[in-house]
Structure 1
Amino acid sequence: MPILESLTNSSPLEILKNIVDVLLVWFVFYKLITIIKGTKAVQLLKGIFVILIVRVVTEYLGLNTLKWMMDQVLMFGFLAAIIIFQPEVRRALEQLGRGRLFARSAMQEEEERDRLIEAFSKSVSYMAKRRIGALISIEKETGLSEYIETGIAMNSNITSELLINIFIPNTPLHDGAVIVQRNQIAAAACYLPLSENPFISKELGTRHRAALGISEVTDAITIVVSEETGAISITSNGDINRNLSIEDFQKQLRLSWFGAEVEDTNTSFWKWRRRKDG
């Protein structure tokens, strides 16, 4: 085979250069995809791929008229792509000029983390002040699909306004848990398993028992706002951190969800840990 022969006849340095060349091309394509991700350009790219597939099929089947049409489309496609993708091209060039093109992924990830933490903090603070009960479970490694199926599918972006609106009393979705999956609200009004631990404090109601229950069978993080007291709690790995201030809530959520390091402060919240075998 020509490829094997060329590899055999190439020196180790040439092989290494070819490998680096291919990896760089893939990296450039990857960065371009991250730039247009979430924009209308994604749908347009799908259309271009369809045109390319049709062009190959017409060549194979000998459909000359359709082949000629596809050739014309591809001939002027480069100019059309520049016009259609003008906002994305301009944004990429601006980032390249600022030296931010290849640092974009890490920066976007950090910005998304901050946005999510801010959305949860605003919604939890609003509900705690007004004693609106809330139960929000965040999926990590262990899937929560079986619990998502018990609720109403949403597949919505996380915003503080939406979270608050879901848990407003006497609304269709307020009774049950919101489950967050892949940084989106996957479903609302979901049923979570109640903890069967006999040593749970009698002060804890159904929401807290459900939050502890899901933390005992999965690695999910669950946020609870008490309807009776407005107290904020977080459960994970069978543990519950109760009576959190907003500052402590933000730190605990960031640490549990993203594993981000936080400063060591003398927090005053009470931590309860489930006991085993008496």
Structure 2
Amino acid sequence: MPTKLDIALVYLRIFLDGFLIFIAVRRFISLSNDPRIIGAVIFFAILFFMNSFSKFFGLPATFWLSGKFIEYFLIIIIILFQPEIRRLILGIKLDIFRDDISKEVIEQLYEAVKGLSEKKEGALIVIERSVDTRTFVQGGKVLDAQISPEIILAIFNKQSQTHDGAMIIKGNKIHMISAILPISKTDDTIFGMRHKAGIGITEETDAVSIIVSDSGKISLANSGKILHDITPEVMRNKLYEILKPK
């Protein structure tokens, strides 16, 4: 005869098991705004319900079919979400070590991008978040300098040797310049290499990128999607919305 303590321990294990699965799924979903992930989670929940329902009511065909889907679900997930899984394994950092961006930095970026747009100076600025971009970036020079509009304008000056490549913002500092980013797989022909690189890093990580074209147009990329030809004010508002600075 199980004691009350034994029963309590069983319920505690069930709770901890479910809680850990919830945390893992929530973390996985947070790495991408791709609606396929939500769809996959819902699909798995439906399969699990069908399997339990058919077992309880004695429906052998439904029980067998849903059981087979569940059995191979992990393989299907690995095939469908290779970039997200790679991001989770290779690039993720613990949130306790995450350097949150400040409101002052967003305002400095706003002033810098506004100046770059007015001067028609091309630029690519990446704001790192919880995923370490080092896994996905090639080359580059470590700078670790304080952020200011003057420094950013000087780095992306057309006459400067540091004009090409991306700037990586990490925490509240300019961590790296002249970095080479992964190119997006998008086949949209209206975007050049700078825009595709800006989109590409947001497909591989949860970073946000700001792209200024040589014509002065401003774009903002996040989660593989891009807002093209926006004003500096819209860019600033979107940064506040996405980054939630402290």
TM-score (norm 2): 0.57
**Are the counterparts in 1 of residues 105 and 147 from structure 2 also a CA contact under 8 Å?**
yes
Shift of 1:161: 0.7
**Structure 1 residue aligned with 2:125:** 136
1:217-249 C-alpha deviation (Å, 9 max, x unpaired): 11100000011x211111010110111112111
**Structure 2 residue aligned with 1:216:** 203
Listed as ranges, the gaps of 5+ residues in structure 2 are 1-98
1:171-212 C-alpha deviation (Å, 9 max, x unpaired): 1211100001122111100000111122x2x22111100011
**Structure 1 residue aligned with 2:171:** 182
Alignment of 1:79-94 (within 5 A): none
Aligned partner letter, 2:154: N
Listed as ranges, the gaps of 5+ residues in structure 1 are 1-108, 261-278
Aligned partner letter, 1:185: I
Aligned partner letter, 2:147: I
Paired with 2:115 and 2:104, the residues of 1 have a C-alpha distance of 17
**Are the counterparts in 2 of residues 148 and 186 from structure 1 also a CA contact under 8 Å?**
no
Paired with 1:167 and 1:230, the residues of 2 have a C-alpha distance of 13
Paired with 1:133 and 1:113, the residues of 2 have a C-alpha distance of 25
Aligned residues: 148
Paired with 2:137 and 2:145, the residues of 1 have a C-alpha distance of 13
**Structure 1 residue aligned with 2:228:** 242
TM-score (norm 1): 0.50
Structure exhibiting the larger radius of gyration computed from Cα positions: 1
- Does the residue aligned with 2:230 lie in a helix, a strand or coil? coil
Identity %: 30
1:28-47 C-alpha deviation (Å, 9 max, x unpaired): xxxxxxxxxxxxxxxxxxxx
Shift of 1:120: 0.5
**Are the counterparts in 2 of residues 221 and 235 from structure 1 also a CA contact under 8 Å?**
yes
1:40-64 C-alpha deviation (Å, 9 max, x unpaired): xxxxxxxxxxxxxxxxxxxxxxxxx
Alignment of 1:15-94 (within 5 A): none
* 2:148 corresponds to 1:162: no
* 2:213 corresponds to 1:226: yes
Aligned partner letter, 2:148: T
**Are the counterparts in 2 of residues 233 and 241 from structure 1 also a CA contact under 8 Å?**
yes
Paired with 1:219 and 1:119, the residues of 2 have a C-alpha distance of 21
- Does the residue aligned with 2:220 lie in a helix, a strand or coil? strand
Tell which has more relative contact order, 1 or 2 (C-alpha 8 A, sep 6+): 2
**Are the counterparts in 2 of residues 152 and 189 from structure 1 also a CA contact under 8 Å?**
yes
**Structure 2 residue aligned with 1:257:** 243
Aligned partner letter, 1:130: K
* 2:116 corresponds to 1:127: yes
Residues 257 and 134 of structure 1: is their aligned pair in 2 closer, same or farther, counting only changes over 3 Å? same
- Does the residue aligned with 1:242 lie in a helix, a strand or coil? strand
Aligned partner letter, 1:209: K
Aligned partner letter, 1:137: V
Shift of 1:148: 5.4
Residues 259 and 122 of structure 1: is their aligned pair in 2 closer, same or farther, counting only changes over 3 Å? closer
Paired with 1:126 and 1:174, the residues of 2 have a C-alpha distance of 15
Residues 148 and 203 of structure 1: is their aligned pair in 2 closer, same or farther, counting only changes over 3 Å? closer
**Are the counterparts in 1 of residues 102 and 245 from structure 2 also a CA contact under 8 Å?**
no
Shift of 1:113: 2.5
After TM superposition, the runs of 4+ consecutive aligned structure 1 residues lying more than 3 A away are: 146-149
**Structure 1 residue aligned with 2:190:** 203
Paired with 2:135 and 2:218, the residues of 1 have a C-alpha distance of 26
Paired with 2:115 and 2:151, the residues of 1 have a C-alpha distance of 12
Paired with 2:245 and 2:202, the residues of 1 have a C-alpha distance of 17
